[in-house]
Amino acid sequence: MAEYAKPLPSITSESKPFWDACRRHRFVIQRCLDCGSFQHYPRGVCASCWGDRLEWRESRGQGKVYTFTVTERTQTQGFREEVPYVVAYVELDEGVQVLTNLVGCAPGDVRIGMRVAVTFEDVNDQVSIPRFAPLEEASGAR
């Protein structure tokens, strides 16, 4: 495995189940047992009703590009070697939005509404980073 030059996620008690699932190439989101809302990013309370009865549900990991930007320049180590790259909000089929990178296509080919699916980058033995790729290009998409 090549040396990973980008920052690694800070894994907290709230986010650990998410990162554990990513390591197994599964994308999970939280669902509130009180109001039924789904949410992402992981947190200790429901963003809709402030309830604290949350469960983890496996997502299909598919959705569409809600919005995006192409980063052409950066001085941040680990990222500057990869410009241009796409940062996007993907709206999962479950209705939640995920801030992510789009991979597997040229930045000029990305379109709002484009169907995408999760794929994972194994950066070390403990961390796999979810990315999204065009649905027909996504490896590991379910």
pTM of the model: 0.89
> pLDDT tens for residues 110-129?
999 999 999 999 999 999 99
Classify the C-alpha dihedral 6-39-13-125 as positive or negative: negative
Residue burial 120-129, b: 16+ Cβ < 10 Å; e: rest = beebeeebbb
23 φ, ψ (degrees, to nearest 5): -60, -30
Helices (H), 1-75: 16-23
User: Measuring CA to CA, which residue among 17, 15, 34, 35 is closest to residue 26?
Assistant: 17
> pLDDT tens for residues 69-112?
999 999 888 888 899 999 999 999 999 999 999 999 999 999 99
CB atoms < 10 A from the CB of 78, how many? 12
> pLDDT tens for residues 3-33?
888 889 999 999 999 999 999 999 999 999 9
